Amino acid sequence: MSRVVVTGRVPDAAIEKLRAEHEVDAWEGPESIGREELLRRVAGADAVVSLLTERIDAELLDAAGPQLKVVSNVAVGYDNIDVPACTGRGIIATNTPGVLTEATADIAFGLILMATRRLGEGERLIRAGQPWKWGMFFLLGSSLQGKTLGIVGMGGIGQATARRAKAFGMDIVYQSRSEIDPAIAAELGARQVDLDELLTLSDVISLHCPYGAATHHLIGAEQLAAMKSSTYLVNTARGPIVDEAALAAALHEGVIAGAGLDVFENEPQVHPELLDLENVTLVPHLGSATVETRTAMAVLAADNTLAVLRGEQPPTPIG
């Protein structure tokens, strides 16, 4: 029997699977586990099931000890894990691609609708008890039909967002590091362009690329200035892909029309200037937040863990 440390609360279905084969030490606190407590608990662990709020770095791997075999992230994004540090110690790192694709695309498209149709503004106005009545020019937004959606990062979530956009009558352009199956691109009517063209062409831009050194502040003041003043930017990927201070300034000055953000540069902090702006919709990292999706993510993370501890190939290793 191995010792599995789970760094935060996850659905019971995953804990039950792990407990059927191993000793499980799961953090049950209402708040995130503190760093000190985490370093203490991982000592002697054979597996760590991690949430994206926990940094899995060399210090933590050393604190765990040489018996650690697997770090299993309950997230598709793994910028919280130092993968080379894992690999260098012979530790397998895994993530949860696929199972959160549709839920995240739903939130991306929800933010596209909220931003372009000014739903957050309308909601805030009613809740603030402000007087209103139907008016020809009251809270006019922007239609999606016939507009161009630019997708940065055309992996599974980008493609799922494109499918939704197609159903709304949008044209799709995309920029992606990896090759897309031409049949899928054709079915979506999606055209590959470079980032510069995407920025200048798109009416709505949705970010779906992974975060890393290559995508840090991929969207900054220069890129925002290249967009049309009628463009909306949506980010459901990772906060630091966007320079939040530059975005706040661009929204304030009307450089772009609006934005929808599910992720932030320094979560859970939000740039204070964004909080004062009407033309940005802010939601607290809800991309995968459905009961079904979170259960599927946790169960996949458990399956990855169990496979490595059995000496088998995990279903979704990183890399």
CA distance 233 to 224: 9
Q: Residue 2 to residues 21, 89, 118, 170, 291: CA-CA distances in angstroms?
A: 8, 18, 52, 51, 28
| 156 near ligand DGY, rule: CB under 6 A | no
Contact pick of 77, 153, 158, 260 for ligand DGY (by CB under 6 A):
77
| Least distance between ligand DGY and beta carbon 98 (Å) | 11
Per-residue mark of binding to ligand DGY, 57-76 (x: CB under 6 A)? ------------------xx
Each as own residue / partner, the long-range contacts of residues 31-35 (CB below 8 Å, 24 or more positions apart, any chain) are 32/8, 33/7, 33/8
User: In whole angstroms, how large is the CA radius of gyration of the chain?
Assistant: 21
DSSP string over 16-60: HHHHTTSEEEE---SSPPPHHHHHHHHTT-SEEEE-TTS-B-HHH
40 classed as catalytic: no
> Comparing C-alpha atoms, which of 264, 245, 159 is closest to residue 208?
159
| 288 near ligand DGY, rule: CB under 6 A | yes
Read off the amino acid at residue 103.
A
Which CB atom, from 99 or from 250, has the smaller least distance to ligand DGY? 99
| 207 near ligand DGY, rule: CB under 6 A | no
267 classed as catalytic: yes
| Least distance between ligand DGY and beta carbon 80 (Å) | 9
Q: Residue 126 to residues 120, 130, 244, 261, 283: CA-CA distances in angstroms?
A: 10, 6, 28, 22, 18
9 classed as catalytic: no
3, 118, 271, 285: which is the annotated catalytic residue? Answer: 285
- By the 8 A CB rule, do 71 and 319 touch? no
Which CB atom, from 156 or from 250, has the smaller least distance to ligand DGY? 156
Per-residue mark of binding to ligand DGY, 81-100 (x: CB under 6 A)? -------------------x
Report phi then psi at 293, rounded to 5.
-70, -45
| Least distance between ligand DGY and beta carbon 132 (Å) | 34
Per-residue mark of binding to ligand DGY, 10-49 (x: CB under 6 A)? ----------------------------------------
Please give the positions annotated as active site.
238, 267, 285
Q: Which residues bind ligand DGY (CB under 6 A)?
A: 52, 75-77, 100, 285, 287-288
